[in-house]
A and B are shown apart, each in its own frame.
Chain A
Amino acid sequence: MRKNLFVLTIFLSLLVPMSLQAEEVRVTAAVNKRAVTVGEEVRLSIRVTGQSMNLQAPRLPKLDGIDTYYTGRASHITFINGVSTSNVEFSYTLIPQRPGNYHLNAIEVSVGPKVFQTEPIAIDVTGSQAPSAVPAAAVNSQQPMPSSMPQNVPQEPPVVSSGGDNNIFVQAWVDRRSVYQNEQLLLTYSLFTRYDTRYEGFEKEAETSGFWIEEFPMEREIERETVQVNGRRFVKADVKKLALFPTSPGSYTIQPGSLKVSIREEPQGASAFDEFFSDSFFTGGSFFARRQNRLLNPPPIQLTVKPLPDEGKPEGFQGAVGSFRLTASLDKDKVKQSEPVTLKLVIEGEGNIETINRPKLPTLTGFKTYDADTNAKLFKTGNVIGGTKSFEIVFIPKEEGSAFIPPLEFSYFDPRKAAYVTLRTPNFPITVEHSDQSFQMPEELTGKEMFQKNVKLEAKDIRYIQERVSESSALFDRIYRGFAWGDLFLLVVFAALWLKDRQERLFSKDEGLRRRKMARAVASANMRKLKKRSSSSKPEDVGLFFEELERAMTQYIADKWNLSAYGVTRQSLEEVLANHFGPEDPHLKDVLELYSLCDESRFGKGSIPQASKKVGMRIFQETVNRIERMKR
């Protein structure tokens, strides 16, 4: 179990860096309130934070019972440690139509090739009807926006659907068929109907690859008008508007997708024409009536995107198309050496403001420059997309004296004039006072607004040769040899101790075996003692010698045949030896003679010659050898 836990821990720790990598982009969704009454507005914000990126507004999943309106986006880019961090917030207004507990499922946001999901959000809608609120359908629409682009573009004459039912059809149309690259194009979906009709949303979104898209927020109450088509009266409503910015020149075919509508099944008489449209069209007034769903497929749209002309293209042109204004301001005109001064550039106007890049800085020798902050706000007024984008650039003068921040140029292509326009900031003179302080990051700017320049690898090459031979290999050799010899020694000791231990275990089970196995060793020890004693010529030592010789001989024979060393008699010894040697064996006689000699020494003190000791020792030795050979 522990082992498994260990393996799991290692595995999870290996996964951590991968998950960190995946979290470079964070997508969150939040609502300003989770409990509302029917008709009360809820503001939903989807925030995408990460490295600088281009994003399309995410599409909300269908919510039965809640009307949703896209109300715009705001973005903020910050440079920290050389990495630009983008913070884009998409806003939506949700207006519940019925009480209940709603779950806004995970919203998918595409960031580059990856798709991120927000957490689901629950909204509790209670039954009491709130006062009718005007949806924030066009956030920022109150802001002053210069709008010189045509607000109402002429619509092409509608073509009645060739499908089976010519009482309802949808027309997708663009405000112009030929535009410049990155110039705004308005795609409008107009629904024409003679039924009691409710717009249910898009079954299949338009295929608009090759275009940067901004969706216009629609009013809660979709405006409608009565029009004549082929001599028949229809109610017309623009249900969706998209601003498209083509990213590259060429011929394009836009597949407008499929719209879903539901119509009341009961046939309506022409007399009721005005009445039911005024009551039920897009309002859900006939909600409980039996309704039939219809899919409406507008025909594809062909258009041509012209490349921007090369003629007159300014050097600093970075792709901006539209109509813009440039303003610049400096936060101070008198600074000390190494003190930052911030230039703020604001570009505002009509066009794809998100894709506008900061004007290029000329090479400045007397300054260190840093990008500090970028802010963008997108406005949608009428049928025009525009906004403001501001850039903050920090200049840190290196030398004292008079200096100036040179003009920065911003160029864009004006499609109405079909010409490039270049805007310039003024020349900002500044006075730099002497300061003894050496350059360092201003404390108030470190980490947050300023970034330290990254150390970058400028070339790849091999690392240099090593000019010293490491001595660690000699130490390693000594350790290696030490362990090898140590192991050998320990192995010998271990084997000896193991064998001894094994023997002890066996002997503890069988005492006779121990005596048999140890008999020779005991006899040898006794023999060594006897040899020492035999050198003495004192008469009392002779007696002791033979006494010990007899005891040693008896003990050896008793050990060998597991006889009691204390209870053994001379007769029993003779019988044992006779059984093993044979009764006529000459050595048996020698042994018996030895015992007689021992008896004699015991009773006839001092009468035994010194030479008999040698005879006694020889007989003992031979007896031991003979018996050991027999055993083998």
Chain B
Amino acid sequence: MKWLCGLVLGVLCAVSVASAAVSEKSSGFQDANTSYRTGDYAKAASLYEDLIRKEPSVAVYYYDLGNADVRLGKLSAAILNYEKSLILDPRNEDVRRNLSHARDLLEYRVEDSRNWYLKATDAVLRYMTQREAVLGVLAAVFVFLLSGIIHFLSGRGLFWNAWRKGVFVLLLLAGLVAFGKHVQRDLIRDAIVMQKECEARYGPSEHDQVAFRMGEGIKVFVMDRREDWSRVLLTNGESGWVKNAEIAEVAI
């Protein structure tokens, strides 16, 4: 009887602690929103940052922080946060619109001279999260295994009939998409230039000649990373080495 009472007390304590944490988070979010609404963007940004530290996988926090950054004139930080928000919620039209607006305010812009199929692939992959791509694979695997199990249990017909071949092709396609997403997210990492003016050099040192200059908010792809320098690629095909301190990777 004693242990039962203890168990009940323990469960009640856990529930109250959890609900307190939820209400604390919710109240923090409300406070941040209120600060934004009243025009105290610096405080709102600080509160959104606190929320992100506690719960880094909520897209809305990044989006709202991006908005506060725009109001504060921190365009590079805003673009970085919008990009992070898109990683978690890639089809959010508000984020896309605000990101586009923030980019319109930049001093620099980069032509996108990639091939059409690269652009199309990039656009398609940016329309889904990495977990959604993996979920596609899991769903295809599920259907394939279930279909195989039914085949073995029924003991009828060929294993590789048209249906199972079709499901397998679907599985391969889903795998391809998931692989593409992996390449996009983990191998070719996006980064945002955070400095007002950033010099890209022909090599990873100050002695190397400046190849081109970029302004804040420009999106680059990190192709190689050293201790202090990263080799970045622009959508116009130019590449150069920039200091790690001058860029921030778009990673959660």
Contact = CB atoms under 8 A, between A and B. Distances in A.
Interface string B73-94: 0000000000000001100001
Interface string B86-116: 0011000010011001101000000000000
Interface string B34-70: 0010000000000000000000011110011001101
A498 B70 contact: no
B248 interface: no
B142 A469 contact: no
Interface in B141-158: 141-142, 145-146, 148-149, 152-153
Nearest to B64: A465
Contacts of B149: 490, 493-494, 497
Nearest to B61: A469
Contacts of B57: 473
A365 interface: no
A468 B33 CA distance: 10
B67 A462 contact: yes
Point out which of B57, B132, B145 has the most chain A C-beta atoms below 10 A from its C-beta.
B145
B138 A484 contact: yes
A479 B134 CA distance: 12
A467 interface: yes
Contact of B153 (A460, A461, A469, A497): A497
For chain A, the bracket of interface size reads 20 to 34
B67 A486 contact: no
A490 B146 contact: yes
Given A462-B102, A490-B142, A490-B145, A469 B63 contact: no
A466 interface: yes
Contacts of B131: 476, 480
A470 interface: yes
* Dominant secondary structure at the B interface: helix
Interface string A479-490: 110011011001
A528 interface: no
A13 to B, nearest CB: 14
A465 B149 CA distance: 49
B148 to A, nearest CB: 5
Contacts of B98: 462-463
A491 interface: yes
B214 to A, nearest CB: 23
Contacts of A501: 152
A497 B145 CA distance: 11
Given A462-B98, A494-B149, A469 B135 contact: no
B9 interface: no
B29 interface: yes
A490 B56 CA distance: 33
A468 B60 contact: yes
A497 B153 CA distance: 8
B251 interface: no
B141 A467 contact: no
Contacts, number: 73
For chain B, the bracket of interface size reads 20 to 34
A494 B142 contact: no
B139 interface: yes
Contact of A469 (B60, B68, B152): B60
Contact of B145 (A470, A476, A487): A487
A486 B33 contact: no
Nearest to A470: B60
A105 to B, nearest CB: 35
A470 B63 CA distance: 13
B142 A487 contact: yes
A460 B146 contact: no
B64 A498 contact: no
Nearest to B88: A473
Contact of B63 (A465, A476, A494): A465
A470 B64 CA distance: 13
A497 B138 contact: no
Contact of B94 (A466, A470, A493): A466
A588 B90 CA distance: 76
B145 A462 contact: no
Contacts of A461: 101
B63 A497 contact: no
A494 B89 CA distance: 35
Interface in A287-336: none
A36 B246 CA distance: 79
Contacts of B152: 494, 497-498, 500-501
A469 B29 contact: yes
Contacts of A500: 152
B101 A498 contact: no
A487 B139 CA distance: 8
Nearest to A492: B145
Point out which of A468, A484, A490 has the most chain B C-beta atoms below 10 A from its C-beta.
A490
A466 B148 contact: no
A483 B64 contact: no
A285 B98 CA distance: 76
A487 B64 CA distance: 37
A483 B135 contact: yes
Given A491-B145, A498-B152, A462 B101 contact: yes
26 contacts: A460-B104, A462-B67, A462-B70, A462-B98, A462-B101, A463-B97, A465-B63, A465-B67, A466-B60, A466-B63, A469-B29, A469-B58, A469-B60, A470-B89, A473-B57, A473-B58, A473-B88, A476-B132, A480-B134, A480-B138, A484-B138, A491-B145, A493-B145, A494-B148, A497-B148, A501-B152
Q: Which 6 A-B pairs have the closest CB atoms?
A: A497-B152, A490-B145, A483-B138, A465-B64, A462-B98, A463-B94
Given A467-B29, A473-B58, 20 more contacts: A461-B101, A462-B101, A465-B63, A465-B64, A466-B94, A476-B131, A476-B132, A479-B135, A480-B135, A483-B135, A483-B138, A483-B139, A487-B138, A487-B145, A490-B149, A494-B145, A494-B148, A494-B152, A498-B148, A498-B152
